[in-house]
A and B are shown apart, each in its own frame.
Chain A
Amino acid sequence: MSFSTFTTPTGFLLPSVHSAPPFFTQQPHPGTNVTVTERWTTLILAYARHRKLFVLRVEDAETTDTEWLEVLRNERINRKLLPSYLSSIIATMVSKNLATYDPPGQTRSALLYWRLPEEWAEVLHGWAISTGQLNTILTFYEITDPPIPSPLSNIPITLLRKAIAVLAKTGRSQLITISDGEGVRLFQGTGK
């Protein structure tokens, strides 16, 4: 009963536990279930970081045309994660502040925090410094879809707002409302 790791076509190294059939079953024993759910949380966040995925939906366990396919299913052992279990995993992640329901008020879709908003704030600030865009007004579009790919490429607006809000607390950002949308101005940082 030794399981081996597996490298997916996208270059992600799946842990050995992913090839154990019980991994895909929601365990009735609470202790075991906590362990398995933790494994899943780690796996999901690692894969999200690897593929730069921000959103995980319960539907991802139901369809086959999803970016999550190679994690949520294991064709080699004929096992897949059931939507009910995925839903409970997401709930656990939300409760641990590793994800948040987005849009709020439902439990089918969640924004994954493979970086916490605080970490994203630092990434944003670092990016602005490195690209010399401090003190200039940037639209959200300029941040999420810059000409030169950045770590912030494709970041969901919700997450970006949270990061900006974190920076604003330390006086390093200012949210500006302009005619055709919103913008942000980032500062060197006084409080630091």
Chain B
Amino acid sequence: MTLRRCTKSVDGTIPIPALLYNDEELLSSQDGVGIYDGIQKSPNHQLGTIHVTTHRLFYISTQHEATYSFALDLSCVSQTDHYAGLFKSSAKVTLYISVPFSASGDAGSNDGPDTPFESWECQVCGYRNPPGLSPAAARVCGLCGISRDSVPAPPAASSSPPLSSSLPASSSLPSLHPPWNSPRTHQRQPSAIACPACTFLNHPSLRSCEICATDLPLVPALVVMKSAPSSRPASPDPSDDDDVTASRIIKISFRKGGDKAFYGVLRTALKSKAWTVGVGSNTPASGEAAAGDSSRSGITGILRNVESSAQGRATDMTDAFQDLEALRIKARDMVRFAAELNERLTASSTTAASALSLSDDALIPSTEPEEATFIRSSLSQLGLEMSNTPVTLDMMKDERRWIEQLARELASVLQGSSSSRDTRGMMKERGIIALDEVWGGWNRARGVALLPPTTLLQVIPHLGACTTPTISMRTFPSGLSVLHTPPYSHVAFAARLSGLLALSGPKTTTEIAREEHVTVGLAAEMIGAVEADGDICRDDEACAIQGGGAEVRFWGNIFHGSVWDGQPITNDV
């Protein structure tokens, strides 16, 4: 019974192009097809031609064009399937019908002339919309774009109770052929409407009383009463009840082939959703229909859910990034402002103290006024302490001075600046530190305007001049580069290591690392350098007779200067 409920009969004697809406287009045709209603053959639709348009599917019966031809809206097709055919079974295309089209029972009944083929006047701009548009397009005024049913229609509400309330889609359907529409066009001329409250005779096109604003009774509503039976749902079909849950499918059987091409065209038509075009201002009704759509179960429903949630997430993300961007711009302003403030403070304090060094922030303390100190401390609490202001190239005039300034900054990062009381440099505790850590720490301290490693390498040669004790760079044979203080220079370490080994016996790398407060990897590098000098030698546990791991113990060079004290070598026999 799906067939009867979802389709509208058309007069097949009319050529197809004449049946189309103005905005509809014929895409493909195939003759020699039969129709299955559900899973059974529909006896009256076994030989005909199928036409697919952007909006509808037409079946034109070959023998009884006038009686058994029908049209099916593509909008109610939720899913399609293609079956290639096997032996005598011909290829079929299955259409799954989603929208319960019960209200169109009247359309299906021989109501003949369809409402869409009728002109209507826009409630808002008064433009007379020409007939012949597809239902969706016809719902919107062609001139002002206002939806036809966005204007409240109380009579529709008053006359709707008879319509089955269990079918949500039905509320959207009256708009296709509103019950008050057709009668009213006939009733237009006659008379004015008397207000039920004040009895003022209002113009028939008014919805509420011009004087007291009382809702006017809709005259046509009375008239409708007579024609009502025709617009009421047809008496329920006996087989309707059990059919609600049954699969609503229509099959098209291609007896003469052409199924593949047709199926392709059908799918593109379904995908392009031409029938939704034009309903830009979504009416609540169509929104409801969409809600009904999304609650659909099955893979399509899940996919749609996933899609919509992904879309939502993407939107959220974009929003968040925009926020972040804005924050960044704000932060830059903030930093700049703080820098300006600080510069001004420094300038005033330096002029006051007629400082010796020009750019050193270290000189602020005593002469500074109370509020300047306050501002400074606030700034530092905000993490904008200006003794840590990153030096950027645009602050400096030439590159050489920039590098020098950077060296000074790096020195303060490494050794702690003398002005700040509690900040400790990275090398305060440690005498040796790998270059990658220096780079990372420096950039973390800068926070903004990060520097590339190449700049770090440029800066390091200048570091010695800015640091006490002098920090210098050293590259191990493995390629590892470190910054170190004098006690960790090669010579000093070699001497210390030899002393340690002589004093407390052989040591493993780990023990030496612990002794020296450096990482094991670093200790291994340093020991390797000493060993390369031949000052120490190793005892590999791999040479053990029993047990033995891979651990290596380092010894002082015991072979150095040792003499043969074994069996005396005699040449006699």
Q: Which residues of A contact B (CB under 8 A)?
A: 1, 3, 5, 12-18, 20-29, 31-32, 35-36, 39, 42-43, 46-47, 49-50, 73, 75, 78-82, 123, 151
Contact = CB atoms under 8 A, between A and B. Distances in A.
10 contacts: A1-B555, A13-B567, A15-B564, A16-B566, A20-B555, A27-B537, A39-B562, A39-B564, A80-B545, A123-B573
Contacts of A82: 542-543
Given A16-B565, A28-B538, A46-B566, A36 B559 contact: yes
Chain B interface, DSSP helix/strand/loop, else mixed? loop
Contacts of B562: 16-17, 39
Most chain A C-beta atoms within 10 Å of own C-beta, residue among B543, B556, B573: B543
A42 B540 CA distance: 22
Contacts of A22: 537-539, 555, 558-559
A78 B546 contact: yes
| Interface range for B | 20 to 34
Contacts of B558: 1, 3, 17, 20, 22
The 10 A-B pairs with the shortest beta carbon distances in the complex, nearest first, are: A15-B566, A21-B539, A22-B539, A25-B540, A24-B543, A13-B567, A151-B573, A31-B534, A22-B537, A35-B559
A47 B567 contact: yes
Nearest to A49: B569
A25 B538 contact: yes
B151 interface: no
B545 A73 contact: yes
A129 to B, nearest CB: 15
A21 B531 contact: no
Interface in B122-143: none
A50 B567 contact: yes
A18 B568 CA distance: 15
Given A17-B558, A29-B532, A82-B543, A42 B564 contact: yes
Contacts of B546: 78
Nearest to B546: A78
A148 to B, nearest CB: 14
A79 B544 contact: yes
B202 interface: no
Nearest to B505: A1
Contact of A15 (B539, B547, B565): B565
Contact of B569 (A46, A73, A151): A46
B557 interface: yes
B376 interface: no
A6 to B, nearest CB: 9
Contacts of A39: 559, 562, 564
A67 to B, nearest CB: 15
Contacts of A29: 531-534, 537
Interface string B515-537: 00000000000000001111001
A18 B543 CA distance: 13
Contacts of A32: 534, 537, 557, 559
A39 B563 CA distance: 9
B538 A27 contact: yes
Contacts of A23: 559
Contacts of B446: none
Contacts of A123: 573
B536 to A, nearest CB: 8
A15 B563 CA distance: 9
Contacts of A25: 537-540, 543
A42 B556 CA distance: 22
A5 B566 contact: yes
B553 interface: yes
Contact of A1 (B548, B556, B564): B556
Given A17-B559, A22-B537, A25-B538, A78 B564 contact: no
A60 to B, nearest CB: 14
Contacts of B547: 78
B534 A78 contact: no
A49 B567 CA distance: 10
B497 to A, nearest CB: 14
Contacts of A16: 562, 565-566
A50 B569 CA distance: 9
Nearest to B542: A82
Contacts of B548: 78
Given A22-B558, A25-B540, A13 B545 contact: no
A13 to B, nearest CB: 4
Contacts of B555: 1, 20-22
Contacts of B543: 21, 24-25, 79-82
A75 B546 CA distance: 9
B175 to A, nearest CB: 91
Contacts of B569: 42, 46, 49
Contacts of B567: 12-15, 46-47, 50
Nearest to A38: B559
Interface in B92-129: none
A21 B553 contact: yes
B565 A78 contact: no
Nearest to A26: B540
Nearest to A50: B567
A13 B548 CA distance: 27
A36 B543 CA distance: 15
B551 to A, nearest CB: 12
A85 B557 CA distance: 19
Most chain A C-beta atoms within 10 Å of own C-beta, residue among B538, B556, B559: B559
A46 B564 CA distance: 11
A75 B545 contact: yes
A27 B545 CA distance: 18
Contacts of A28: 531, 538
A42 B565 CA distance: 11
Nearest to A39: B559
Contacts of B505: 1
Contact of B544 (A13, A49, A78, A151): A78
Contacts of A21: 506, 539, 543, 553, 555
Contacts of B533: 29
B306 to A, nearest CB: 61
A13 B566 contact: yes
A127 to B, nearest CB: 10
Contacts of A79: 539, 543-545
Contacts of B557: 32
Nearest to A12: B567
Nearest to B556: A1
A50 B568 CA distance: 10
Nearest to A14: B566
